[in-house]
Amino acid sequence: VVLGAGASAGAALAVWLDWAQILNILDPLPSTRFVALMPMPADRTPALLFTVLDSIGQRLARAEAVVNNLMIITPQDRPGPGAAIDSPGKTESTLGANLVLVASLDQTASEAKLNLRLLDAHSQRVLRKGVVECALSDIGSLAEKASHRAALLLQLPTSDVQLSDPEELKSVPPDVYQAYSEAEQLVNEPNHDG
């Protein structure tokens, strides 16, 4: 009876606190997160999966502005074809990632199912996983749902933090602001041959 009551109380606590929070306490993610986004299979990425990964990359890249020690490495950031990355284990040595968000797509005649797995790049152990499903008639919502789910898996804000320009400028160190101003000036200069 005591064992049953304890198990029931534990299950009720898990539901009340949310299982993701309990998992974050028991098995936390590293404080420095260099996350490589990777499609599976890496060699034959369907167009829909590439679009969804692009949306996830954009959402997570916006979180880089407000989350310390976060870097998102999208498929577009990868080196050329000479350094092909066909397995999550290669992301550590090639890209410097310590986490890999692997996405695979299962599509039937009526629905699409996106499987997301967050792996440790070194050991390739699954740290978090999630599934996003939607009907093919509502396929446009898949990217938004996947972006939200990926942010939850990485313990990032699920909505964009809107800061006004003066608020953002208060938190920027003077040397960083100077470098940004110089870079912005160079960007606005006309391009020349070569």
Residues 6+ apart with CB under 8 A from 134: 111, 112, 141, 142, 145
Q: How far apart are CA 74 and CA 125, in angstroms?
A: 20
pLDDT on residue 114 = 92
Do residues 28 and 126 touch, judged by C-beta distance below 8 A? no
More confident residue, 25 or 114: 114
Closest CA to 131 of 108, 102, 155: 102
Q: How far apart are CA 69 and CA 146, in angstroms?
A: 22
Instruction: Quick: pLDDT tens for 56-110.
Output: 888 888 888 788 888 888 877 766 654 567 777 778 878 888 999 999 988 888 8
Please name the residue that has the structure tokens 């499609």: 39
pLDDT on residue 18 = 58
* pLDDT above 50 for 13: yes
Instruction: Quick: pLDDT tens for 95-120.
Output: 888 999 999 988 888 888 999 999 99
Q: How far apart are CA 73 and CA 62, in angstroms?
A: 12
Residues 6+ apart with CB under 8 A from 35: 60, 70, 71, 72, 73, 97, 99, 100, 101, 154
More confident residue, 21 or 32: 32
- Overall pTM surpassing 0.75 (yes/no): no
Tokens of residue 135, six digits: 């009907």
Average pLDDT, the chain: 79
Region 40-56 average pLDDT: 81
- The angle formed by the CA atoms of residues 31, 33 and 34, to the nearest 5 degrees, is 155
* pLDDT above 60 for 162: no
More confident residue, 59 or 158: 59
Note the Cα 8 to chain centre separation in Å: 34
